[in-house]
Amino acid sequence: MRAVVFHQGALGDFLMVASAIDGFAENQCRAGLDFWAKPEYVSLLAEKSYLGDCYSADTALAGYLLHESFWRTAALPDFLLEADRLLIFGQTGSRVMAERLSARLTATVSWLRSFPAAGDDPVHVSDFLRRQLDLLGLPAGRKPFRLIPSDSEKLAAGDLLRELGIHSKPILIHPGSGGRRKVWPLRNWHGLLDWVGRETSFRVLLSIGPADRYPDAFSRAMTDAGVSVVSGLPLIRLSALLSYCRLYIGSDSGVSHLAAAVGIPTIAVFGPTDPRVWAPQGKDVMVLRRRWKEEDVLKWAPSDKPDFQDGEIANIITNWELQAKTCCEGNNLRRQRR
C-alpha cells in the first residue's frame, strides 16, 4: 500500500501523529509512507524504514482545495494521483479538503481529527489518534515511539558540544514554546539556571528556538552569565544534541515532545494546558503542573536576583546527579577489577 499523510500543525502535534502512525506504517506501508507536511518535521523520521518522499504542505494547493470554485480544477500532483490511501490530519477545516479530494482521487481518503475538540472528555492525543486509526482498520499498536538521530547528525552535535567546551552529558533547558502563555515565567528559568550552576556538577545548555524570539534579551543575559546557549538549530541537529544530554527540562512545547521521543529523561512544566491531553510520552517523562498568570511570563530583568524556589525540580536534579555519580563510580570499579 502506498499511503500519504497530510499534516500542517505544529511540531508537538506532528510528533504525536508520527507516534500514532509509527506501528501502522512499519506493518502496512511496505511501499513507503509519503508525507505532505513540513519538510523539517519529516526530516526527524529520516532513520525510519518506512519513510518515503516528502512534499511540502506550504504550497497553494491546500488553499485551492478549500476554495469554493478552484478545488474542482486545481492540478493534483502525481504523489496524490498515485496513492492508495490518503490520511488527512487536522481540525474541522481540513475535513472539507478531505471530502473534496475523495471526490477527485481513486485513493481512499480519510480525515482524522488531530486532537480532541474543546469540551470533549480529556483523552491523550496519541490515544485519540490511535482510536481513529483502529476504526479505519489501520491498527497502530502500542509500540513506544523513538527517534534515532543519524550518525552524521550525532557527529555534528558532538562537535558542537566540544566547541562549547562541554565534555560531559549536560542538562538541556528549553524555556520557550510556540504559545507564550505556556511558558513557565522567565524568572523561574533564571533561577533554575543559576541554581544548577551553583549547586550541581552538571553543565547546562540553554536552547532557544526560532519561534522563541521574545526571550532574546534573556538568552543574551544568560550568555553574559556564562551559560552556554544554542539558538535556532535545525530540528535534526537538535534531536542529535538531545541524545547526548543527561536530562531535559522545558515548558509545554514541541521540543519537550522531541526530547521525550529521543528517549532522554524529560521534565515538562505545564501551566494552562491539560497534560492529560498534551503531555509528552515516554517512560522517563515527568510532567509537573504549575500555575502562573500570562502577564507574568516575561516579568524578568537581568538585575533580578536569582531565586529558585521549586524544591520538587531541585530534588529531581539532585537525585539524577547522585545516580550519575553512582553509575560513574560503578564503572570505574569495574575497570579496576579488569
CATH code where residue 53 lies: 3.40.50
Residue 80: the pLDDT is: 96
User: Are 9 and 126 in the same domain?
Assistant: yes
Q: What is the pLDDT of residue 332?
A: 47
Q: Is residue 245 within 8 Å of 170, Cβ to Cβ?
A: yes
Q: How many angstroms separate the CA atoms of 232 and 228, rounded?
A: 14
272 assigned to some structural domain:
yes
Q: How many CB atoms neighbour CB 36 within 10 A?
A: 25
Mark which of 135, 169, 191 sits at the end of a domain.
Answer: 135
SS3 1: coil
Domain final residue pick, 83, 101, 135: 135
**Residue found under cell 514554546:** 177
Write a three-state SS string for 281-323: CCCCEEEEECCCCHHHCCCCCCCCCCCCCCHHHHHHHHHHHHH
- Domain-embedded: residue 14: yes
Same domain, 222 and 155: yes
Query: Is 144 inside any structural domain?
Result: no
Residue 213, pLDDT score: 66
Residues 158, 108, single domain; the answer is no
177 and 267, same domain (yes or no) = yes
Residues 131 and 172 in one domain: no
Q: Is the domain of 42 the same as that of 117?
A: yes
Confidence of residue 141 (pLDDT cuts 50, 70, 90): confident
187 and 299 share one domain: yes
Please, are residues 249 and 269 in contact by the beta-carbon 8 Å criterion?
yes
User: In the prediction, which pLDDT does 243 show?
Assistant: 97
Same structural domain for residues 128 and 157?
no
**Structural domain contains residue 143:** no
Q: For the chain, what percent of residues have pLDDT higher than 90?
A: 75
Task: State how many domains the chain has.
Answer: 2
Above 80 in pLDDT, residue 126? yes
Rounded average pLDDT over 162-175: 95
Tell me: do 128 and 220 sit in the same domain.
no
158 within a domain of the structure (yes/no)? yes
Residues 204 and 131 in one domain: no
Is the same domain home to 204 and 94?
no
Boundary residue ending a domain (135, 165, 194): 135
191: CATH? 3.40.50.2000
Q: How far is CA 144 from CA 195, 199, 249, 283, 332, in A?
A: 33, 34, 21, 9, 32
Q: pLDDT tens digit string along 22-63?
A: 988 887 777 789 999 999 999 999 999 999 999 999 889 999
CB 70 within 8 Å of CB 80: no
- The pTM (predicted TM-score) of the whole model is 0.93
CA distances from 247 to 125, 133, 298 (A): 24, 33, 25
142 inside domain: no
Is residue 46 within 8 A of residue 65, CB to CB? The reply is: no
Across 147-169, average pLDDT: 96
The answer as to whether 48 is a domain residue is yes
Q: Residue 50 is part of which domain span?
A: 3-135
Specify whether 170 is located in the same domain as 31: no
**What is the residue-averaged pLDDT of the chain?**
91
Query: Is the pLDDT confidence value at 245 over 60?
Result: yes
Predicted confidence (pLDDT) per residue in 70-90, tens digit: 999 999 999 999 999 999 999
Q: Is residue 163 part of a domain?
A: yes
pLDDT at position 328, please? 55
